[in-house]
Copies of this chain bind each other. A is one copy, B any other.
Amino acid sequence: MSAAVHHLPQADLERLLQQIFVRHGTSESVARTLAANCASAQRDGAHSHGVFRIPAYVSTLASGWVNGTAVPQVQDVASGYVRVDAGGGFAQPALEAARALLVEKARSAGIAVLAIHNSHHFAALWPDVEPFAEEGLVALSVVNSMTCVVPHGARKPLFGTNPIAFAAPCAGHAPIVFDMATSAMAHGDVQIAARKGEQLPEGMGVDRDGQPTCDPQAILDGGALLPFGGHKGSALSMMVELLAAALTGGNFSFEFDWSQHPGAKTPWTGQLVIVIDPTKAEGSRFAERSRELVEQMQAVGLTRMPGERRLREREASARDGVSVTAQEFEQLQVLAKG
């Protein structure tokens, strides 16, 4: 019965996920980071980046494609520049290893950049930026992924779904946070639609012959996604390739070859994070100004702020526990043991 739902405390879900990661070859430290990240996505109703991803994490670890025990090498490059070699491991532990230095530099220099390369990012991007806003900083991050998006005006896929995430503090509110694929849809949402046998809206993707399709399976079977917003979304996706790969020293979305690693699912690319200290220009005023903008957006009739659905789901999860389907829960328990 996939409709039956389990509700469990976030800490329990994290512990279960941690067991799974360790059982399938990550270090304790990497397992903690990935489990917290994945449980947060599930908690916030971001299901395409929640426990849905676990089987793919497991098959990737089994394939030898990613280094689950990599220790990120942090390099203090300049007064506003931190570089991390993720050692062929996941991007989140690399961010965690560099985080304190990045924040220190942003507060001192006013702006700082973190360039991560040799990394695998297989998660939502908002968990990477939201914590900066929680401590009063403004953060922007981009990550490239794997070829599945046709550049506007081209015939074949080249770009990844290449998301952009942004977070800013807001007085009296949770931070303003958004995380958007520069593709018309996130890849995980296509997979979920395919699994449910649902059709997609028009304009999301093309089939293997380059013809428009609303069938998510046709997009997954040799087809591709389109960028959001035509040539503009396509230009932003190109920018993400330049910032997340060319600038960091990571792979472009089309460069890595995982054909020798059946089961590999995680893109081996790079990530850029820019953090700005808003007190440098406006003292403590930024969060108030941010709130004024939100109030004006509500005044012109906006009923749902970007990220608002996540916050509602987060509240519900805190109250009732994080929900996973009975089928997923069973699968997680099997993976934690075997």
Interface residue A115 (Cβ < 8 Å from any Cβ of B):
yes
Q: Do A158 and B300 touch across chains, with their CB atoms under 8 A apart? A: yes
Residue of B with least CB distance to A243:
B138
A residues sitting closer than 8 Å to B (CB atoms) are 77-81, 83, 108-113, 115, 117, 138, 150-151, 153-158, 164, 166, 168, 176, 178, 180, 228-236, 238-239, 241-243, 245-249, 252, 254, 274, 276-278, 280-282, 285-286, 289-290, 292-293, 296-297, 300-304, 306
Q: A80-B110, A238-B176 are in contact. Are A276 and B247 (CB under 8 A)?
A: yes
Contacts of A245 in B (CB 8 A): 289
Complex alpha-carbon distance, A110 and B176, angstroms: 27
Q: For residue A300, which residues in chain B have a CB less than 8 angstroms away from its CB? A: 150-151, 154-158
For the complex formed, measure the closest distance between the CB of A205 and the CB atoms of chain B, giving whole angstroms: 15
Chain B residues near A303 (CB, 8 Å)?
153
* Besides the known contacts A80-B109, A178-B239, 9 further A-B residue pairs in the complex with CB atoms under 8 A apart: A77-B281, A109-B111, A115-B280, A151-B302, A155-B301, A176-B242, A229-B232, A235-B306, A242-B290
Pairwise interchain contact A238-B306, C-beta atoms closer than 8 A = yes
A290 to B245, CA, bound (A): 9
Could you show 23 A-B contacts with beta carbons less than 8 Å apart? A77-B281, A78-B108, A78-B110, A79-B80, A80-B112, A81-B280, A83-B281, A111-B111, A138-B242, A150-B300, A153-B304, A168-B242, A178-B235, A180-B232, A228-B230, A238-B293, A238-B306, A246-B289, A247-B282, A252-B292, A252-B296, A254-B296, A274-B274
Q: How far is the CA of A112 from the CA of B157 in the complex (A)?
A: 34
Tell me if A's interface is mostly helix, strand, loop or mixed.
Answer: mixed
Residues of B within 8 A of A112 (CB): 80, 109, 111
CB pair A247 B81 closer than 8 Å? no
Chain B nearest CB from A254 CB (Å) reads 6
| Cα A173 to Cα B168 with chains together (Å) | 36
> Among the listed B239, B274, B286, B304, which residue makes an inter-chain contact with A246, where contact means beta carbons less than 8 Å apart?
B286
Instruction: Given A281-B115, A300-B154, check contact A242 B293 (CB 8 Å).
Output: yes
Q: Using Cβ atoms and an 8 Å threshold, which residues of chain B touch A236?
A: 164
A267 to B304, CA, bound (A): 28
A-B pairs, 8 with minimum CB distance: A229-B229, A81-B110, A80-B109, A155-B301, A246-B289, A78-B110, A80-B80, A156-B300
Option from B180, B235, B293 in Cβ contact (under 8 Å) with A180 = B235
Q: Within 8 Å CB of A79, what residues of B?
A: 79-80, 108-110
Task: Determine if B297 and A158 form an interchain contact, defined as CB atoms under 8 angstroms apart.
Answer: yes
